[in-house]
Amino acid sequence: MKKGDAGMKIFEERRSIRRYGDRPVEDEKLEAVLEAARLAPSWANMQCWTYIVIRDQSVKEAVASTLKNNPIQKAVVAAPVLIVACADPEKSGNANGQPYYMLDIGISFQQLVLEAWNQGLGTCWVGWMNEDEIRSILGVPENIRIVALTPLGYPAVYPDFPGRKPISEIVRYDRWNQGA
């Protein structure tokens, strides 16, 4: 696949959406998005994830109130759905000191993000948050990590492409020190 190919379209066109309209999200679309998350690969197929789907406006507002200074704060109130990605570190592996639950939930959450776009819906990964405050609002147990959240709704503004490094800067061939 190369730039402009049909399969590349979703990667080229997806954006983090920070402005939403108030059109509700259809149940079938929400189900499709959650199904995409469910089907993700994970360490030993342990599926460490739990998703909290929030449609209650007062709960959304309580979570949004913790996202001080985060550019996503207003969007969390405006979007009709908020999805919170939780992970159980005990239901994943560790190798070389690397906790793979972060990768498991990341893959699953990104599948959710891409299926949302496929359904005409916007999302925005939110990682900069106060986990303890959100834990207390949502009653998430201490052994479960809250890794990310996203608003989900119909985009009101389609942002410009924020750019990426060129392939020449991010790929090395055969060895770290090429040609050494």
Ligand X SMILES: Cc1cc2nc3c(=O)[nH]c(=O)nc-3n(C[C@H](O)[C@H](O)[C@H](O)COP(=O)(O)O)c2cc1C
The torsion defined by the Cα of 21, 17, 147 and 92, in degrees rounded to 10, comes to 110
Q: Is 176 exposed, middle or buried (0-12, 13-18, 19+ CB in 10 A)?
A: exposed
Rule CB under 6 A: is residue 70 a binding residue for ligand X? yes
Q: How many CA atoms lie within 13 A of 63 on its CB side?
A: 32
Residue 25 CA: distances (Å) to CA of 30, 122, 157 = 7, 11, 17
Per CB under 6 A, the list member of 11, 71, 94, 136 interacting with ligand X is 71
Rule CB under 6 A: is residue 74 a binding residue for ligand X? no
Angle, vertex CA 26, rays to CA 20 and CA 29, nearest 5: 95
The one segment of 53-61, 68-76, 84-92, 130-138 that binds ligand X by CB under 6 A: 68-76
Joined tokens for residue 80: 């009709």
Q: Nearer Cβ to ligand X, position 7 or 179?
A: 7
Q: Nearer Cβ to ligand X, position 70 or 92?
A: 70
CB 164, min distance to ligand X, A: 8
Residues 127-146, interacting with ligand X (CB under 6 A): 127-128
User: Closest CB to ligand X belongs to which residue?
Assistant: 127
Rule CB under 6 A: is residue 87 a binding residue for ligand X? no
CB 72, min distance to ligand X, A: 4
Q: Nearer Cβ to ligand X, position 116 or 177?
A: 116
d(CA 124, CA 120): 14
Query: Which are the contacts of 32, defined by CB distance < 8 A and separation ≥ 6?
Result: 115, 118, 119
Per CB under 6 A, the list member of 32, 125, 135, 156 interacting with ligand X is 125
Rule CB under 6 A: is residue 157 a binding residue for ligand X? no
Give the residue among 99, 115, 94, 118 at the shortest CA–CA distance from 40.
115
Per CB under 6 A, the list member of 84, 105, 116, 126 interacting with ligand X is 126
The residues of the shown chain that bind ligand X, judged by CB under 6 A, are 15-16, 70-72, 124-128, 162
